[in-house]
Amino acid sequence: MRIEVVGVSRQFGEFKALKDVSLTIQSGELVALLGPSGSGKTTLLRVIAGLDWADAGDIKFDGVSASTRSVGERHVGFVFQHYALFRHMTVFDNVAFGLRVRPRKERYSNAEIEARVNELLQLVQIDWLADRMPAQLSGGQRQRVALARALAIEPRVLLLDEPFGALDAKVRKELRRWLRRLHEQLGMTSVFVTHDQEEALELADRVVVMNKGRIEQIDTPGQLYDNPSTPFVSRFLGDSNELDCHVAAGSVLLPGLDTSALPRVSVPNGPAKLYARPHDIAISAAEDGEACVRFISAVGANIRIEAELPDGRVVELTRTREEQAEDPVAVGARVGLRLYRAQVYPAG
Amino acid sequence: MAGLAFTARPRKPGANGKPGQRVTQAVLIGIAVLFLGIFIVLPLAIVFSMALSQGWAAYVDALVEPDAISAIKLTLLTAAITVPANMIFGLLAAWAITKFEFRGKSFLITLIDLPFSVSPVISGLVFVLLFGLQGWFGPWLQEHDLKVVFAVPGIVLATMFVTFPFVARELIPIMQEQGTEEEEAAFTLGASGWQTFWRVTLPNVKWALLYGVLLCNARAMGEFGAVSVVSGHIRGHTNTMPLHVEILYNEYNFVAAFAVASLLALLAIVTLILKSVLEWKLARDRKQPIVHTA
């Protein structure tokens, strides 16, 4: 199902949680809402679900406005951050809940409900836990129960609020891959909220980066990483060097950094801010180099180097082990730095 | 209360600490036991021994005497009306306060607590001032031949007023702790408000609710001050059990007075036992909140 968010605003007292947000999510897509806390991502998810409402704007499901439909009528599967399992019900009863509260005419028979619940528990691989109470489950198991419960109503959309937020790192990675497979298997439109960029970039088809109630950029993970379109996205996604520089007639001036390989930038003359990924800066040993190596860390696939520019600013960069073997640089060595790719924005 | 004294025990069993500590411990426990004995166990024992001082026959006679029966009936009737009413009110108030945001919320909480901070005599007097002959609604009530004060409705009203915070007070903290996520989950799964209430909210607070109802009931049956003001003490008509005890006592009919009092004491003991059971259940429920870790 296609979801359209049209000019949605939402205000809590003085705090503007969402400011005129518009977004289209295609049918079958897996989309991440990514942003720091307070960016409005959870509010947006709740507005889509109907758990919260928009002060202005509209939510459309397959082109039909959903604003007059209640949460229950919207038929969305919602997985809560802390799962919100019914604490006094067994796993089985939790999953069966959505089927049992249906109006009598649409309700399945008990046998059908049982079959359906067992099928769902198998799908999320916890059929052996059917008689347990939520308090007896681990975080990862609760997550699966929450998901099975949401899927029981055969939703057309699956919305997940920080689905991995309350899990430890190892379980998180495992569940992430599993969720991705499940999404592909079920083929329903899914939206999840996260503050973890790694999670968003690895899992989602497209990522919506949010900040202070606005959408900063919507793109595929690769595009977002390579071509961030705002200073916020540059800073927020991945590691970046943030450097003050000057722009004159489309070229970037930054003492100590060779910027001749950069394409011309369309930023007005004057002070500007430049963001460069550590792997987009090349380093080479040079007797007359203007920069100086301050720190080297050789742990991991890449060598991490901190180099100091003539004015004392420190630039972080990485090079492969092969590069380091071919042209070794050591702490204290004079080096030349060359910039291959960067984002430049007018200062201020 | 005895449990309080035992908290002085060292954490590790066996490690009983220095002799000095042990003495302190013994003294503290001794004081607590002595205190409880004098102020609680002894009076209770006296109630029963006085009630039975002239044998079981006299005891039973005192209880089956028509005025006593009428007092017991009135007490049960009052409790039968006020407890369900306050249970429903308490649930609604706690539901509104904990699951919704609205203006005047803290004012409502203060208002719910009001009966706790007002002397029961004043609570009774308020109803006399409202519904008595000289009261605001007095003339109107008289015209329509309705009796509130010095009649059963007055007793019910006064009791309801006095016992009104118990259920709400018990429910509000536990419902606040539980938050609204489970209700929201129920809504997303297609449950109506009514279904959500019966299947999610109510089961989650059932022990706390029972606990509140129990305390409310104990107070409703035992209330003296407020009821005394509005009752008029008409024997066989507007006397509840506590009032009946007072009248018998003032007439030097000690056996009968203590016989009726022993019923109230029994009610208290049963309440205490149930209360302990419920407290244990409540503690168990609270121990299983969904912990937010893996």
Give the whole-number percent of chain B exceeding pLDDT 90.
Answer: 14
Tokens of A44: 């947006």
How many other C-beta atoms are found inside a 10 Å radius of the C-beta of residue B100?
9
Tell me if chain B has a CB within 8 Å of the CB of A150.
yes
CA-CA distance, B10 to A71, in Å (whole number)? 54
Alpha-carbon distance A86 to nearest alpha carbon in chain B (angstroms):
6
pLDDT tier at A43, thresholds 50, 70, 90: very high
Comparing CA positions, the residue from B217, B184, B175 lying closest to residue B91 is B175
Task: Report pLDDT for B235.
Answer: 73
Q: Is the pLDDT of residue A123 over 90?
A: no
Closest residue in A to B287 (Cα–Cα): A135
Give the whole-number percent of chain A exceeding pLDDT 90.
Answer: 47
Adjacent-strand bridge partners of A242: A275
Angle of helix B152-163 relative to helix B120-131, nearest 10 degrees, comes to 140
Which pTM was predicted? 0.78
Interface subset of A 197-256, CB within 8 angstroms of B: none
Partner residue opposite B292 with nearest CB, options A70, A82, A153: A82
Tokens of B164: 């009104």
Q: Which residues are CB-contacts of B54 (< 8 A; sequence separation ≥ 6)?
A: B255
**Arithmetic mean of pLDDT, B237-254:** 84
Task: Report pLDDT for A198.
Answer: 87
Alpha-carbon distance A141 to nearest alpha carbon in chain B (angstroms):
9
Alpha-carbon distance A132 to nearest alpha carbon in chain B (angstroms):
13
Closest residue in B to A171 (Cα–Cα): B294
Residues on chain A touching B181 (C-beta within 8 angstroms): 80, 82, 84
Q: Is the pLDDT of residue A340 over 70?
A: yes
**Arithmetic mean of pLDDT, A99-111:** 89
Partner residue opposite B181 with nearest CB, options A80, A142, A166: A80
Q: Is the pLDDT of residue A88 over 80?
A: yes
Task: Report pLDDT for A89.
Answer: 92
Paired sense of beta strands A56-61 and A157-161, if any: unpaired
CA-CA distance, A159 to A150, in Å (whole number)? 9
Q: Is the pLDDT of residue B276 over 70?
A: yes
Q: Which residues are CB-contacts of A214 (< 8 A; sequence separation ≥ 6)?
A: A19, A20, A21, A40
Q: Is the pLDDT of residue B288 over 70?
A: no
Task: Report pLDDT for A45.
Answer: 94
Tokens of B263: 């019923």
How many other C-beta atoms are found inside a 10 Å radius of the C-beta of residue A257?
27
Tokens of B225: 């001050």
Task: Report pLDDT for B285.
Answer: 67
Task: Report pLDDT for B82.
Answer: 92
Q: Is the pLDDT of residue B233 over 80?
A: no
How many other C-beta atoms are found inside a 10 Å radius of the C-beta of residue B57?
8
Is the separation of the CB atoms in A243 and A278 below 8 Å? no
**Arithmetic mean of pLDDT, A279-297:** 89
**Arithmetic mean of pLDDT, A47-55:** 91
Instruction: Tell me which amino acid residue B121 is.
Output: V
Tell me if chain A has a CB within 8 Å of the CB of B105.
no
Alpha-carbon distance A105 to nearest alpha carbon in chain B (angstroms):
14
Secondary structure (DSSP) of B13-70: TT----HHHHHHHHHHHHHHHHHHIIIIIHHHHHHHHHHTTTHHHHHHHHHHSHHHHH
Interface subset of A 48-107, CB within 8 angstroms of B: 49, 51, 70-72, 75-78, 80, 82-88, 97-98, 101-102
Least confident of A126-130, B23-27, B82-86, B139-143: B139-143
Partner residue opposite B294 with nearest CB, options A72, A97, A138: A138
Mean pLDDT of chain A: 90
Q: Is the dihedral of CA A168, A172, A174, A178 positive or negative?
A: positive
Q: Which residues are CB-contacts of B139 (< 8 A; sequence separation ≥ 6)?
A: none
Task: Report pLDDT for A32.
Answer: 94
CA B197 to chain centre: 25
Q: What angle do CA B228, B230, B236 make, to 5 degrees?
A: 70
Could you read off the pLDDT of B169-184 as tens digits, one per residue?
A: 889 989 988 888 999 9
Residues on chain A touching B291 (C-beta within 8 angstroms): 135
Three-state SS string over chain A comes to CCEEEEEEEEEECCEEEEEEEEEEECCCCEEEEECCCCCCHHHHHHHHHCCCCCCEEEEEECCEECCCCCHHHHCEEEECCCCCCCCCCCHHHHHHHHHHCCCHHHCCCHHHHHHHHHHHHHHCCCHHHCCCCHHHCCHHHHHHHHHHHHHCCCCCEEEEECCCCCCCHHHHHHHHHHHHHHHHHHCCEEEEEECCHHHHHHHCCEEEEEECCEEEEEECHHHHHHCCCCHHHHHHCCCCEEEEEEEECCEEECCCEECCCCCCCCCCCEEEEEEECHHHEEEEECCCCCEEEEEEECCCCEEEEEEECCCCCEEEEEEEHHHHHHCCCCCCCEEEEEECCCEEEECC
Residues on chain B touching A77 (C-beta within 8 angstroms): 188
CA A13 to chain centre: 27
> Under an 8 A CB cutoff, do B185 and A78 touch?
yes
Angle of helix B254-287 relative to helix B55-64, nearest 10 degrees, comes to 80
> Under an 8 A CB cutoff, do A80 and B184 touch?
yes
Token pair 């205190």 is at which residue?
B35
> Under an 8 A CB cutoff, do B185 and A153 touch?
no
Alpha-carbon distance A217 to nearest alpha carbon in chain B (angstroms):
29
Which run of H or of E encompasses B198?
A: none
Task: Report pLDDT for A165.
Answer: 77
Task: Report pLDDT for B291.
Answer: 45
Could you read off the pLDDT of B50-97 as tens digits, one per residue?
A: 888 888 888 888 888 888 888 888 888 988 999 999 999 999 999 888
> Under an 8 A CB cutoff, do B185 and A86 touch?
yes
Q: Is the pLDDT of residue A339 over 80?
A: yes
CA-CA distance, B90 to B216, in Å (whole number)? 11
Secondary structure (DSSP) of B257-292: HHHHHHHHHHHHHHHHHHHHHHHHHHHHHHH-S--S
Instruction: Tell me which amino acid residue A64 is.
Output: V
CA-CA distance, A106 to B279, in Å (whole number)? 41
pLDDT tier at B294, thresholds 50, 70, 90: very low
Task: Report pLDDT for B60.
Answer: 84
Q: Is the pLDDT of residue B4 over 50?
A: no
Residues on chain B touching A168 (C-beta within 8 angstroms): 293-294
Give the whole-number percent of chain B exceeding pLDDT 70.
Answer: 90
Alpha-carbon distance B84 to nearest alpha carbon in chain A (angstroms):
24
Interface subset of B 75-104, CB within 8 angstroms of A: none
CA-CA distance, B91 to B71, in Å (whole number)? 30
Mean pLDDT of chain B: 82
Higher pLDDT, A210 or A186: A210
Could you read off the pLDDT of A238-282 as tens digits, one per residue?
A: 889 999 998 988 888 888 888 888 888 888 898 999 999 999 999
Residues on chain B touching A102 (C-beta within 8 angstroms): 190
Residues on chain A touching B103 (C-beta within 8 angstroms): none
Give the three-class secondary structure for B104. Answer: coil
Task: Report pLDDT for A113.
Answer: 92
Closest residue in B to A51 (Cα–Cα): B184
CA-CA distance, B138 to A116, in Å (whole number)? 65
> Under an 8 A CB cutoff, do A97 and B187 touch?
no
Is the separation of the CB atoms in A81 and A165 below 8 Å? yes
pLDDT tier at B16, thresholds 50, 70, 90: low
Adjacent-strand bridge partners of A190: A30, A158
Alpha-carbon distance A98 to nearest alpha carbon in chain B (angstroms):
5
Tell me if chain B has a CB within 8 Å of the CB of A160.
no
Could you read off the pLDDT of A140-173 as tens digits, one per residue?
A: 899 899 999 999 998 989 999 988 877 777 878 8
Alpha-carbon distance B287 to nearest alpha carbon in chain A (angstroms):
9
Higher pLDDT, B31 or A289: B31
Tokens of B7: 């908290």
